[in-house]
Amino acid sequence: MSGDKLVVQNLNAWYGKTHAVQDISLSFPDKKATAIIGPSGCGKSTFIRCLNRIHETQPKARSEGKVLLDGSDVYQADPTEIRRKIGMVFQRPNVFPTMSIYGNVAAGLKLHGGYSHDEIDTLVIESLKKAALWDEVKEKLDQSALQLSGGQQQRLCIARALAVQPEVLLMDEPASALDPISTARIEDLIFDLKNSVPVIIVTHNMQQAARVADRTAFLYLGKLVEVAPTRDLFERPTEKLTESYITGRFG
């Protein structure tokens, strides 16, 4: 479909003999947020980890199928470059404990290289502003990232992902370990970010999906059951399995 930034074709993934993702085809439009919902163990996290090839770093993990970024297969490209283009924010904040707040955001830029000191400074500040963290940390950029609260650490991880200017942002239950106020800030941030970069968010919280996502996909036992505009999926699901899940009959 025209306007799709990322297109997944017949994706399968395994951990050893466990077939965690089964023949999923799904497209992700530019400048939209897409939520991936489903019960625990249904393959949500494995699916998005295949999109930027993090899945293959796990022991005995493999995948088959195509993931096309602007028409080019990510599995035919350098995985390090793909992970720059398709950024990832994990469930729990994974700040670099030995680095300062500034150092955390600059880490990816220094790793990939090619940036001057002034360019790094500019991108760090811009990324912290985009992550709605700048006003809280601008006077303590040289302090340890561990001094930040959990919610601030998660926004720092988002700033770190944004600093390398990704073309897609993956978020794996980014607010599940946070308090309600921090969760609301992350959701506001997703709402803002999707205007410039497509956001794909895994969430176990259906209310969260309803608040932030333009489209929602429901996965069950490794398979894609249904994908639709979020309001349609929640109010008028076409599959009985989807209806059973969103009405709380299982999961």
Structure-token pair, residue 178: 């946070």
61-105 tens-digit pLDDT: 999 999 999 999 999 999 999 999 999 999 999 999 999 999 999
On whether residue 154 sits in a domain, the answer given is: no
Structure-token pair, residue 5: 């930034």
Structure-token pair, residue 14: 């395994």
On whether residue 31 sits in a domain, the answer given is: yes
On whether residue 127 sits in a domain, the answer given is: no
Domain ranges, residue 207: 4-93+168-246
**What number of CA atoms fall less than 13 Å from residue 113's CA on the CB side?**
1
Over residues 17-37, the mean pLDDT reads 97
Q: Tell me what pLDDT residue 214 has.
A: 97
Write the DSSP assignment of 114-152 as a string of letters.
Answer: ---HHHHHHHHHHHHHHTT-HHHHTT-TTSBGGGS-HHH
On whether residue 163 sits in a domain, the answer given is: no
From CA 67, how far away is CA 9, in angstroms rounded?
6
124-174 tens-digit pLDDT: 999 999 999 999 999 999 999 999 999 999 999 999 999 999 999 999 999
Q: Tell me what pLDDT residue 111 has.
A: 87
Query: What count of other Cβ atoms lies within 10 Å of the Cβ of residue 233?
Result: 26
Q: State how many domains the chain has.
A: 1
pLDDT value at 1 more than 60: no
On whether residue 82 sits in a domain, the answer given is: yes
165-218 tens-digit pLDDT: 999 999 999 999 889 999 999 999 999 999 999 999 999 899 999 999 999 999
Q: Tell me what pLDDT residue 113 has.
A: 84
Over residues 12-22, the mean pLDDT reads 96
On whether residue 141 sits in a domain, the answer given is: no
Q: Tell me what pLDDT residue 112 has.
A: 82
From residue 247, give the alpha-carbon distance in Å to each of 4, 41, 206, 241: 30, 19, 10, 10
Over residues 207-231, the mean pLDDT reads 97
From residue 240, give the alpha-carbon distance in Å to each of 7, 40, 41, 243, 250: 26, 19, 20, 5, 12
pLDDT value at 2 more than 60: no
Model confidence at 251, in pLDDT bands (50, 70, 90)? low
CATH number at residue 225: 3.40.50.300
Query: What count of other Cβ atoms lies within 10 Å of the Cβ of residue 228?
Result: 18
Q: Tell me what pLDDT residue 177 has.
A: 84
Q: Tell me what pLDDT residue 68 has.
A: 97
Q: What share of the chain has pLDDT > 70, as a percent?
A: 99
On whether residue 152 sits in a domain, the answer given is: no
Strand order of the β-sheet with 215-220 is 86-89, 168-172, 199-202, 33-37, 215-220, 223-229
Model confidence at 59, in pLDDT bands (50, 70, 90)? very high
Q: Which residues contact 80 (CB under 8 A, 6 or more apart)?
A: none
Write out the H or E segment, with its range, that includes residue 36: strand 33-37
On whether residue 123 sits in a domain, the answer given is: no
Q: Tell me what pLDDT residue 152 has.
A: 96
